[in-house]
Structure 1
Amino acid sequence: MFPAMRLARLARLAHLALALAPAAAWPSDPPSFPQFPGRQVSVLNGTWDFAFLGDVALEEISQDAEWQKVSVPDAFDLRGFTCRCEPCSCCDRSMGHRGRAECWGDRREMVGGVWVYEEHPEAQFEACCQPEPLYLKRGVAMYRTQLDTLGTAALLLFGGCTLRCVVMVDGVVLEDHAGLSPFQVEVPAGGGESGARTLLVIVDNRFGETHPVHQPKYDWYQAGGIIRPVQFHELPSKEPLYISYVHVYPRSLATVDVKLKTSGPLDGISLRWRLDDESGCQESLAWPEMAPEGAAGLRVPDAEPWSPSSPSLRRLSVAMLRDTQVLDCICVRFGLRRVEAQGHQILLNQKPVKLLGFNRHDMIDSPVMTYDELVADVEILKELGANFVRGAHYAQDQRFLDLCDVYGLLVWEEVLGWQNTASDFENTLFMAQSMRMATELALASGNHPSVILLGFFNEGESFDQSEATTVAYHAMAQHLRRHTGNTRLIGYGSNHAGQDQQLNAVDVYAFHLYLAWYPTTQPADAEDVEGIPGIWDQVRQWSLQAGEKPMLITEAGAGGLFGHHTDGKWSEEYQARVLRSHLEAAIHNPQIAGEDQLLTGNFQPSKDPW
């Protein structure tokens, strides 16, 4: 946790004689799940106070800061560009790495269907588009907002805050969080007669020993800030009595187990439940009782299975009552679906399914994504014919998973990580933070029927046979199984086909090979492309040494430049041939359970020098 001796210094930050801004309007989202009819819920997306302090120690943060207004969610080091020429859409990075081509300026001539410039197009982009002052800056920042509350106990729910986030309310440090996963903070009653409370979030987007789960080598830009929505949940009482979570685990296509946890002992408190409640818990006194630990074998009437072709969803409400007072009530959404590994096949609802789709990063201009942008991503995946998406390489936005539930997209979700080493697995803080993220991922995503696979340690050193590595892989796999009621398949993306030593830890084998692509400096070879299916078959045969389990191709592909048309690498044509060959390897080989390509859209790995 945060050093106790520094609390007094940090506490004063919450009481600066500066105007405090309550959270104001931000693009509103439809109601998401879970829903909390027993709580007073405030979505804190909107205008906050913000100050960037730079490369300072968190223990020595100065009160003398230059505050400005920003919109939260916010990635302060990826706020984009300001246009200095027309049209302004030229600086929209979602149009490609250099924005819109017609904005690059100073064209010389068109050669072979491609514009040739006097200067490199990136120079033209920068001449027109001025980056925000904090673009790619690393350091400490502060976010602050004023809460008008009832003064009761409360909860803060963060969808994502990176890299390291210290959460303070009224000058008291309540949480010190590292990683990218949803997390919850319990807030004691307070606020005095006015009910006014100050929320301060200190964000550190530098890489360091305090949060080793973030590393500069990871191959995507790791932005800093409150990057996903924040909610403030006020409870009816000054006592922190609430339902921590409710998980619904299908045990057949008509029955479920319900597992729940409350914040404390249930002396004098009852739990009641109802399926598909329409009253917002107003009728909970008449509901049947539920045991404190949940229920087993609960039958769902009029049961319909959830599947990509028919994503049928149901709701379960659980209320916590003391006599006639509703202390809390949670409504979760779930689907009746079962996923199993059987021989070389993945079974969904007892039928074989071939998983075909794409890897996806949670990023357009930045990792701050609106609901409409998430909808667009899901609709693109469906339009491409995908039934599967792999969230690379961290816990996914819960709004995105809600959409996958509704649209019928199957999901691989994974714990933050990339090419982690044996030294990482020996690092007790790295492992503790990784396990915490796994727990938070499982708690947040436990009711999403779309999430059928959970992964971890993407492209880690699974070839290593040391005790630390072996324990790390097995412990993480068991941790995820235990925290999801054994309702998901467990795997990890491996780039060590032929050498991997940890395959017995998981339910599904998953391999990465960029055949006919790397090294990109070698010329294109038609035979390499044609040989892709055969090599994947060899990988499959090798994997059987560890036992017969389903095998997925979880990363494969090639790069291509827009408008580049040749027979060589980096052309659209060559990219299409490589992607087609990988896809055919999965479709036509019954021993391969599926494939997802890298990526759904234009993407550039991080070149962050820090």
Structure 2
Amino acid sequence: MFEPLWASLLGYGAVGFWKSNKVQAVADWPREPPAWPKYPGRQVRVLNGTWDFAFFGDVALSAELLAEPAHVESVPVPDAFDMRPDKPRCNVCWPKFTEGAGMENGDEELCSYCCSRAYGWRGNQDCWRTLPEAEREGAFEKCCNQHPLRHRRGVARYQTEVQAAFNTSVILVFGACALRCLVAVDGVVLADHSGLSPFSVSVASAERELRSVTVLVDNRFDRVTHPVHQQKYDWYQGGGLLRAVQFHSLASPQPIYLAGVEVFPRSLEYVDVDVRLSSTRPTTESLEYRWQFDDPQEGCNWFGWSTISPGSEAHNVSVPNARRWSPENPELHRLKVALLSAGKMLDCVEVRFGLRQVATSGRDILLNGQAIKLFGFNRHDLVASPVLSHEELARDVQILRDVGANFVRGAHYAQDQRFLDLCDENGLLVWEEVLGWQNTAQDFADGIFMMQSMKLADEMAAASVNHPSVIFFGFFNEGRSDDPSPATEAAYRGMANRLRERSRGSRLISWGSYTTLGDRYLDFADVCSFHHYPAWYPTTAPGNLEEVKGIPLLWEAYARFVEEKFPAKPLLITEAGAGGLFGHHGPSEEKWTEEFQSLLMQMHYVSVFTNPKIAGLALWQFADIPIDRLVSDDEHRPRGLNNKGVLSLSRLPKLAVQALRLLRNSKPAYLGLILPPQDADRLTGLFKV
């Protein structure tokens, strides 16, 4: 059996690690699902806690690795094993290394650059070669304090054991596991999943109470086995069990359960209800469903509930005491559904939903029949790691509301269900999309890429169908939608049809297009969603105020194009923005300053909100995010970050936040630029919108 690579690299022997107590007491596993739905008919264990972990390194992903490794450590799950914290000791040792370079007080940016494992096991060797030879040995370890797995790619193993009811079947529910994951129970591989979306695995019953759960995770990129993940994507793609894992014990030895309860609003009072059953069915016994709206009782006391037989149509069902969901009044309803067989309850699920309708009319996006202008940000589910606490998610929602946003675009994958719950509760409108970034004609002609993409679309739609906040389903962000090949056309047509079918008119379908006027497939979209970064790209070009002045004219030209070519489709600006280094200040025409970023963000906002032909704006982006330094250099992504956030990585505000908040609160009679004092005299009145 393999010894974990990182143990041998650090010189640890068997005594350097310990066998953890793999069986976590039943009482220690949380029982409340971290997000909707709820499962009153099941025994739920949320496996957020201590798991055994081993890292094997650059080896083949295979079932052989399921066996007990020689060395393990205990880690908390959820976990991103290659994004463990780094804590460089810049303030201790770096001044010595930069003496005479004008950085006597140290330079954290340079320190972080030199310590980054993206450049190799001991960081960027170019940094250390500048040291005197006597100081070179051990310099990385002395200064950088990197976790040995930070930015390491390879195969890892997570394992735990759970006590379950004797001889009952089980469902494992994964919030997200990346990049590629083999799921095994009791040593048997049951699933091979790639991508970033919620998925579940059915587990047959066993005449035992102790069930072993093992997940092999491969965070390497492989265009053959999991092409939906590609290294070029413009964010750091962490590996591991990134979101919660749930263990559901069912009442029956057979995996007969409610695979989904989907509520589709047909009006502000009536809904269609689609109850999906698991693939396993009893052969002789008849099944029936019972349901109840807004049941005030705990549990699943189904006596007296309405009855419907499987296969019957449940169209135009009246919701008692119907309340409308809107950003101003995000009212939510609940529905419990019980699955019965011969008078015995097999399963019970409670979902939450909202009564709202979304549509388009000419230039407008309509919510509940009224035109709404969208303003918000693109947001990655990332801080320094993709593992976020509920408090961090709630903080992001609060910041979005404080800035005046009514819209957030989830980039570029299925969103955390906890975040969508918060958006439901706070009235934030959401765009959610299938994993992808700048995919090519080669991808669209790749059968495995398309198969995996369609599966991710199905999983995203199934997980998010009952979230009223999600009004858009998107896909193929910035893909080559100008490519004329039959495979590309089939990919756009097929994905649009798939998501439209899965959402049954409850979502608008689109994609972020950076081919804009050259996009060949806008007929398949409900909304034209354009990306453009005037006055920013090319990144290395100096700031140009003439380009900044042209921003209103640019968006007007796009609006006229859409109005002429697609008169029934609104135009939504789904990406526009600029980089700004947190804490870096200077003239408003100098790139990378917070002042320049704020100026461009304001220009986009003013241009869109004084133009009735444009339905809204999602600025790129909400907060800075980590990137893979092997993909983009520090000239384009300084500090190892995509710095286009209006907040820092740790959610500290840049100048753009205050300016946008003030603009959102401006009276309709005044909508002008808000500039820092040093630029006010020079730039006020320069831009006419």
* Alignment TM-score > 0.5, same fold: yes
In the alignment, the residues of structure 2 paired with residue 501 and residue 60 of structure 1 have an alpha-carbon distance, to the nearest angstrom, of 44
Match of 1:398 among 417, 424, 429: 417
Match of 2:201 among 169, 172, 185: 185
Once the two structures are TM-superposed, the CA of residue 38 in structure 1 deviates from its matched residue by 0.3
In the alignment, the residues of structure 1 paired with residue 351 and residue 541 of structure 2 have an alpha-carbon distance, to the nearest angstrom, of 52
Match of 1:274 among 258, 283, 292: 292
Q: Which position in structure 2 is the counterpart of 1:32?
A: 35
Once the two structures are TM-superposed, the CA of residue 562 in structure 1 deviates from its matched residue by 2.1
Q: Which position in structure 2 is the counterpart of 1:169?
A: 185
Q: Which position in structure 1 is the counterpart of 2:302?
A: 284
> Map of 1:142-291 to 2, 5 A cutoff?
142-150=157-165, 151-190=167-206, 192-193=207-208, 195-208=209-222, 209-263=224-278, 264-265=280-281, 267-291=285-309
Match of 2:71 among 66, 82, 85: 66
Once the two structures are TM-superposed, the CA of residue 250 in structure 1 deviates from its matched residue by 0.5
Deviation string 1:450-503 (CA, Å, 9 cap, x unpaired) is 000010000000001111000100100110011112210000001112211110
Change (3 A) 1:58 1:563: closer
Q: Which position in structure 2 is the counterpart of 1:386?
A: 405
In the alignment, the residues of structure 2 paired with residue 320 and residue 596 of structure 1 have an alpha-carbon distance, to the nearest angstrom, of 42
Q: Do 1:104 and 1:121's aligned partners in 2 also have CA atoms closer than 8 Å?
A: no
> Map of 1:446-595 to 2, 5 A cutoff?
446-548=465-567, 549-567=569-587, 568-595=590-617
Percent of matched pairs sharing the same residue: 50
Change (3 A) 1:117 1:599: farther
In the alignment, the residues of structure 2 paired with residue 410 and residue 269 of structure 1 have an alpha-carbon distance, to the nearest angstrom, of 38
In the alignment, the residues of structure 1 paired with residue 24 and residue 604 of structure 2 have an alpha-carbon distance, to the nearest angstrom, of 48
Q: Do 2:287 and 2:309's aligned partners in 1 also have CA atoms closer than 8 Å?
A: no
- Root-mean-square deviation (CA, aligned residues, Å) is 2.3
Read off the aligned partner of 2:414 and give its amino acid letter. Answer: A
Once the two structures are TM-superposed, the CA of residue 517 in structure 1 deviates from its matched residue by 0.8
Q: Which position in structure 2 is the counterpart of 1:47?
A: 50
Deviation string 1:149-182 (CA, Å, 9 cap, x unpaired) is 1130110000000000000001111100010100
Match of 1:360 among 361, 379, 402: 379
Q: Do 1:359 and 1:596's aligned partners in 2 also have CA atoms closer than 8 Å?
A: yes
Read off the aligned partner of 2:59 and give its amino acid letter. Answer: V
Give unpaired runs (5+ residues) of structure 1. 1-16, 86-101, 110-114
Read off the aligned partner of 2:614 and give its amino acid letter. Answer: I
Deviation string 1:116-156 (CA, Å, 9 cap, x unpaired) is 55664334455655221010110000000001111301100
Q: Do 2:41 and 2:300's aligned partners in 1 also have CA atoms closer than 8 Å?
A: no
Deviation string 1:251-281 (CA, Å, 9 cap, x unpaired) is 1011111011111447422101100112234
In the alignment, the residues of structure 2 paired with residue 581 and residue 609 of structure 1 have an alpha-carbon distance, to the nearest angstrom, of 30
Once the two structures are TM-superposed, the CA of residue 291 in structure 1 deviates from its matched residue by 3.4
Change (3 A) 1:444 1:30: closer
Deviation string 1:210-254 (CA, Å, 9 cap, x unpaired) is 000000110101111000000000000101110110111111011
Change (3 A) 1:19 1:442: same
Read off the aligned partner of 2:247 and give its amino acid letter. Answer: F
Q: Which position in structure 2 is the counterpart of 1:422?
A: 441
TM-score when scaled to structure 2? 0.79
Deviation string 1:337-378 (CA, Å, 9 cap, x unpaired) is 000011110000000000100000001111001111110111
Read off the aligned partner of 1:284 and give its amino acid letter. Answer: W
Q: How many residues align?
A: 571
Deviation string 1:546-574 (CA, Å, 9 cap, x unpaired) is 41201111011001112222221111111
TM-score when scaled to structure 1? 0.89
Change (3 A) 1:216 1:108: closer
Give unpaired runs (5+ residues) of structure 2. 1-17, 116-141, 633-689
Change (3 A) 1:66 1:40: same
Q: Which position in structure 2 is the counterpart of 1:603?
A: 625
In the alignment, the residues of structure 1 paired with residue 43 and residue 32 of structure 2 have an alpha-carbon distance, to the nearest angstrom, of 17
Once the two structures are TM-superposed, the CA of residue 306 in structure 1 deviates from its matched residue by 0.5
Q: Secondary structure, in 3 states, of the residue corresponding to 1:458? A: coil
Q: Which position in structure 2 is the counterpart of 1:141?
A: 156
Query: Is 1:338 aligned to residue 357 of structure 2?
Result: yes
Deviation string 1:74-118 (CA, Å, 9 cap, x unpaired) is 000001124658xxxxxxxxxxxxxxxx88964999xxxxx9556
In the alignment, the residues of structure 1 paired with residue 296 and residue 527 of structure 2 have an alpha-carbon distance, to the nearest angstrom, of 40
Change (3 A) 1:28 1:246: closer
Read off the aligned partner of 1:72 and give its amino acid letter. Answer: V
Q: Which position in structure 2 is the counterpart of 1:21?
A: 22
In the alignment, the residues of structure 1 paired with residue 443 and residue 545 of structure 2 have an alpha-carbon distance, to the nearest angstrom, of 40
Change (3 A) 1:170 1:322: same
In the alignment, the residues of structure 2 paired with residue 58 and residue 273 of structure 1 have an alpha-carbon distance, to the nearest angstrom, of 44
Q: Do 1:218 and 1:418's aligned partners in 2 also have CA atoms closer than 8 Å?
A: yes
Q: Secondary structure, in 3 states, of the residue corresponding to 1:137? A: coil
Q: Do 2:19 and 2:73's aligned partners in 1 also have CA atoms closer than 8 Å?
A: no
Read off the aligned partner of 1:67 and give its amino acid letter. Answer: V
Read off the aligned partner of 2:40 and give its amino acid letter. Answer: P
In the alignment, the residues of structure 2 paired with residue 404 and residue 524 of structure 1 have an alpha-carbon distance, to the nearest angstrom, of 36
Q: Which position in structure 2 is the counterpart of 1:97?
A: none
Q: Do 2:562 and 2:570's aligned partners in 1 also have CA atoms closer than 8 Å?
A: no
Change (3 A) 1:27 1:384: farther
Structure in which a larger fraction of residues adopt strand: 1
Read off the aligned partner of 2:488 and give its amino acid letter. Answer: T
In the alignment, the residues of structure 2 paired with residue 326 and residue 33 of structure 1 have an alpha-carbon distance, to the nearest angstrom, of 21
Read off the aligned partner of 1:592 and give its amino acid letter. Answer: I
In the alignment, the residues of structure 2 paired with residue 23 and residue 472 of structure 1 have an alpha-carbon distance, to the nearest angstrom, of 46
Q: Secondary structure, in 3 states, of the residue corresponding to 1:590? A: coil
In the alignment, the residues of structure 2 paired with residue 203 and residue 362 of structure 1 have an alpha-carbon distance, to the nearest angstrom, of 20
Change (3 A) 1:555 1:563: same
Once the two structures are TM-superposed, the CA of residue 609 in structure 1 deviates from its matched residue by 5.7
In the alignment, the residues of structure 1 paired with residue 43 and residue 290 of structure 2 have an alpha-carbon distance, to the nearest angstrom, of 20
In the alignment, the residues of structure 1 paired with residue 460 and residue 595 of structure 2 have an alpha-carbon distance, to the nearest angstrom, of 39
Q: Do 2:384 and 2:625's aligned partners in 1 also have CA atoms closer than 8 Å?
A: no
Q: Which position in structure 1 is the counterpart of 2:638?
A: none
Q: Which position in structure 1 is the counterpart of 2:639?
A: none
Deviation string 1:511-559 (CA, Å, 9 cap, x unpaired) is 1111111112222222211210110111122234541201111011001
Q: Do 1:181 and 1:437's aligned partners in 2 also have CA atoms closer than 8 Å?
A: yes
In the alignment, the residues of structure 1 paired with residue 89 and residue 535 of structure 2 have an alpha-carbon distance, to the nearest angstrom, of 41
Deviation string 1:382-429 (CA, Å, 9 cap, x unpaired) is 111100000000000000000000011000000000000001000000
Q: Do 2:173 and 2:199's aligned partners in 1 also have CA atoms closer than 8 Å?
A: yes
Q: Do 1:417 and 1:457's aligned partners in 2 also have CA atoms closer than 8 Å?
A: yes
Change (3 A) 1:31 1:72: closer
Q: Secondary structure, in 3 states, of the residue corresponding to 1:390? A: strand
Read off the aligned partner of 2:171 and give its amino acid letter. Answer: L
Read off the aligned partner of 1:328 and give its amino acid letter. Answer: D
Max radius of gyration: which structure? 2
